[in-house]
Amino acid sequence: MLHGKRILLIVAGGIAAFKSLELIRRLRERGASVRCVLTAAGASFVTPLSLQALSEDKVYGDMFSLTDESEMGHIQLSRDADLLVVAPATANILARMAAGLADDLAATVLLATDKPVLVAPAMNVRMWTHAATATNVEILKRRGIGFVGPNDGAMACNEHGPGRMSEPEEIVAAIESMLGRERASPEKPLAGKRALVTSGPTREALDPVRYISNHSSGKQGHAIAAALAELGADVTLVSGPVTVPDPRGVHVVRVESADQMLAACLATGVVDVAVCAAAVADWKAARPAAAKIKKKAGAAPPSLELAPNPDILATLSRPGPKRPALVVGFAAETEDLVANAIDKRKRKGCDWIVANDVSPATGTFGGERNTVHLVSGEGVENWPPLAKGEVAMRLAGRIALHLRQAGKAEAAE
């Protein structure tokens, strides 16, 4: 919930501005107060009266209004909030933010603020994929600006692709996560806790050249490791072959095969929480060839005998003095997602399963977003589509809460 939180919503000029009205309503429902800055272009799509009626607060837009400056100067306006949200964030306002311009009230407020900023991009697919926009986004991310979206989908320009603004409930979830992160940062609720995270695919050698693997990018697992570290945990990340950068403040152990991944996990020692996000190959070659398998003219393809790989999640979940207090597995499925995840949790003996659909149409493998279902002994939580970083922060927050409650229960015994 967002009770008592102050949101400054900047509405820029784009057809997606109509979603800002629903966003205000949902934020108010959760107890937040909302104050709006409406750009001149934004006023072509929504009216100040609509924003004012829903926010029940004055709407600001004129940089040089004597009344506004005397009542709430732009510097104070930029700082009298817990979070600034730009929705929709057009290519134009992202470019102005990256360049540090202050040519209207919205840009000036963003330049003058000392509070966190979240943007929800919305633009034509070609504008989003243009090299200039990509550069601007990278600059803003390096400065700590939070992003939610954009989504893939049909747009008002009759084109389809990335550039569609996230839905209001997705933006609200990102706001809750970002404000939760701000609250938790000074407290470091996982300080003193040790965490193990597995990430990425494994590669199972057929010969010195070829291997069995999968499409996992490691983005979700690496994001989880980063989120746990941000909340104060001492994190060891055991990673298969990936191209994503190592998270800051995390000890990384690189492996290739499932056997190597299990050995690295066991070598980590006793941990408080284990998150098995890696897409571990179920099988390996029973007898990998010592030399490259040669193709011979007219000969049939060689037969491939497979053997099962070690079950890392089940191994870490076994009862015993070294079992983590919380073991979280992942279920990557293409059908019967929740039912298979419930069954997997029981079979493996883990505490939670994070289930996600990895069918090619979802774009989960290698993509920037994920839609997950958290399966526990208490039931199933269906999370909205979120950026993988937001999934990671939400999961890290839940882990911190669980460990804190478990610690209180243990102390009371």
271 shares a domain with 159: no
Distance of CA 163 to the CA centre of its chain: 18
Nearest to 11 by CA among 109, 114, 111, 132: 109
Q: Structural domain of residue 17, as residue ranges?
A: 6-182
Residue 294 lies inside a defined structural domain of this protein: no
Digit-coded pLDDT (tens) for 340-385:
999 999 999 999 999 988 777 766 666 778 889 999 998 999 888 8
Q: Which residues are catalytic?
A: 157
φ/ψ of 123, rounded to 5, equals: -170, 170
Most distant CA pair in the chain, distance: 87
214 shares a domain with 170: no
Q: CA-to-CA distance for 162 and 153, rounded, in angstroms?
A: 7
328 shares a domain with 272: yes
Residue 236, domain CATH: 3.40.50.10300
198 shares a domain with 334: yes
Residue 292 lies inside a defined structural domain of this protein: no
* Number of domains the chain is built from: 2
196 shares a domain with 105: no
Digit-coded pLDDT (tens) for 241-281:
999 989 988 999 999 999 999 999 999 999 999 999 999 99
Structural tokens at position 316 = 């870490």
Tell me which amino acid residue 252 is. Answer: V
Residue 55 lies inside a defined structural domain of this protein: yes
Residue 44 pLDDT? 94
Residue 184 pLDDT? 44
Q: CA-to-CA distance for 134 and 57, rounded, in angstroms?
A: 35
Distance of CA 69 to the CA centre of its chain: 38
pLDDT by residue for the chain (413 residues), tens only, comes to 677 899 999 999 999 999 999 999 999 988 899 999 999 999 999 999 999 999 999 999 887 665 555 555 667 787 789 999 999 999 999 999 999 999 999 999 999 898 999 999 999 888 999 999 999 999 999 888 999 988 877 666 667 678 889 889 889 888 887 886 554 444 588 999 999 999 999 999 999 999 999 989 999 999 999 999 989 999 999 999 999 989 988 999 999 999 999 999 999 999 999 999 999 999 999 999 999 998 888 888 888 899 999 999 999 999 999 999 999 999 988 788 899 999 999 999 999 999 988 777 766 666 778 889 999 998 999 888 888 888 999 999 999 999 988 876 665 65
With a CB cutoff of 8 Å and minimum separation 6, the contacts of 215 are: 201, 279, 358, 365, 366
Q: CA-to-CA distance for 314 and 263, rounded, in angstroms?
A: 14
Structural tokens at position 54 = 């829903």
Q: CA-to-CA distance for 4 and 48, rounded, in angstroms?
A: 24
161 shares a domain with 70: yes
356 shares a domain with 332: yes
Q: CA-to-CA distance for 341 and 352, rounded, in angstroms?
A: 9
173 shares a domain with 269: no
Quick check: 247 and 285 in contact, CB under 8 A?
Answer: no
143 shares a domain with 160: yes
pTM: 0.57
- Listed residues 163, 182, 201: the one ending a domain: 182
Residue 186 pLDDT? 47
Q: CA-to-CA distance for 34 and 23, rounded, in angstroms?
A: 10
Q: Return the bridge partners of 252, or none.
A: 237
Residue 163 pLDDT? 87
222 shares a domain with 178: no
248 shares a domain with 341: yes
- Listed residues 132, 167, 182: the one ending a domain: 182
Nearest to 92 by CA among 141, 39, 55: 39
- Listed residues 182, 202, 220: the one ending a domain: 182
Alpha helices in 248-386 (DSSP H): 258-267, 312-317, 337-348
176 shares a domain with 196: no
Nearest to 19 by CA among 166, 178, 177, 156: 166
Q: CA-to-CA distance for 1 and 61, rounded, in angstroms?
A: 29
Residue 291 lies inside a defined structural domain of this protein: no
Quick check: 386 and 370 in contact, CB under 8 A?
Answer: yes
Residue 36, domain CATH: 3.40.50.1950
